[in-house]
Amino acid sequence: MKTMLTQLAPLASFLITEGIEGFRTESYDDATGKTLGDDDEALGVVTIGAGTTRWEDGTLIAPGSSITYQEGQDLLLGYLRTELAPAFARLIKVKLNETQAAAFGSFLYNFGETKAKGYTLTKLINKRSEDEVIARQWMKYVYSGGKKVLGLYRRRMAEVLLWLGLDWRAALNVDWDDDVMDVAMRLGYEPESSVEDDLFDDDYDPTPETPLTTADLNHRSLERISGKKIPLTRASKRVPIEAVDYIENPEPQVKRIEDSKRGKGYAKTQTGTEIGVAGVAGTAAVAVGAVEPVVSFVDRYPKETILWVFVTLTVLGLIYYMYGKWQRERGEDEATDLLG
């Protein structure tokens, strides 16, 4: 349902406030703030009243123009009714309350429909985002000519406070180090309740379509322990076994790597490699008689006997290596199955 900006007087009153748009009875340059005489030229746009740039007939405000307060108010209300309200209806697709509509109306008045249409803030409002998300985004629009402007920072904060239904006048004296949500909470704003907070509501019923049962109470207790919603199974509308297991064992008991099949297998392959290497090296040494300790050892025993010893070590090492390799791969397959 679209929001119609029908309450224009509150928005007009907000805009005329000094520090928002303010009000000037003589035409001025909106780029410099300088009052313009008949022969002066503006660097920016010639403006009058509460930021008005055109008369009711559509002609531009000329340097040297002047109006009374009542004329300026009538001019502003006419613009809000014929230009801003239709633009507001085209941009906002959700229902807003009066203060929210006035807050975004001020933002729209400042930037115009073309810019506001592409801004993230407009999209967040139409998505019904949380107030804090909207407020944080709102406070990003404080630049003029590529520089941050304190006056715009104060205006944006005033608009946010108005959006939250708070006394927005407090924003007119803030400084750069004043955080918008801190100011809001000092003025009485209470953050929106999260889903987790609802879990601790004594009236919470996981299956409201049926009488509250013991199973429902158990489900609610598990959710409170975990601090988050646990989905109910479609068939039974009770707690899934996986969820109960998670609550009872929030941290999985992980084996040390040396105690796992994968770790034991790796150790065996290392041992097998070392035995095999020793056997091969010994066999070669016996064959060529190149290593002094081996030569001494061979002198005490028949060469054929020693050769068979090292050959046997080589075969045993190969067997041990292959067994360890098989055990390690088996452990890796089981770990993959668990993770998958």
Residue 165 lies in a domain: no
**Residue 185 pLDDT more than 60?**
yes
157 domain residue, yes or no:
no
End-of-domain residue from the set 248, 281, 310: 248
Alpha helices in the chain (DSSP H): 8-16, 69-79, 85-91, 98-111, 113-118, 120-126, 131-138, 150-163, 180-186, 195-198, 214-226, 241-248, 261-288, 292-300, 303-339
State which residues form the domain around 207: 195-248
The string of DSSP codes covering 41-74 is: --SS-EEEETTB-B-TTSPBPPTT-B--HHHHHH
What is the tens place of the pLDDT at every residue in 144-171?
A: 989 999 999 999 999 999 999 999 999 9
**End-of-domain residue from the set 94, 119, 150:** 94
Given 62, 94, 126, which residue is the final one in a domain? Answer: 94
Q: Report the alpha-carbon distance of residue 100 to residue 53 in Å, rounded.
A: 25
Helix (H, G, I), strand (E, B) or coil at 37: coil
Are 261 and 303 found together in one domain? yes
- The answer to whether residue 31 sits within a structural domain is yes
pLDDT in tens, 241-251: 444 444 445 54
pLDDT at 186: 96
In a domain, residue 106? The reply is no
In this prediction, residues 25-48 reach a mean pLDDT of 94
Residue 217 pLDDT greater than 80, yes or no? no
**Does residue 153 sit within a domain?**
no
Question: Is the same domain home to 240 and 266?
Answer: no
Is 302 contained in some domain?
yes
Is residue 270 located within the same domain as residue 307? yes
Tell me: do 68 and 36 sit in the same domain. Answer: yes
Read off the pLDDT of residues 73-119 as tens digits, 9 standing for 90 and up.
999 999 999 999 999 999 999 999 999 999 999 999 999 999 999 99
Please enumerate in sequence order all residues whose Cβ is within 8 A of that of 20, keeping only pairs 6 or more positions apart, or say none: 14, 106, 155, 158
- Taking 90 as the threshold, does the pLDDT of residue 211 lie above it? no
**What is the domain count for the chain?**
3
Q: In this structure, are residues 135 and 164 in contact, taking their beta carbons and an 8 Å threshold?
A: yes
Identify the band that residue 320 occupies on the pLDDT scale cut at 50, 70 and 90. low
* Type of residue numbered 102: A
- According to the model, what pLDDT value does residue 116 have? 97
In a domain, 172, yes or no: no
In a domain, 102, yes or no: no
Q: What is the mean pLDDT of the chain?
A: 78
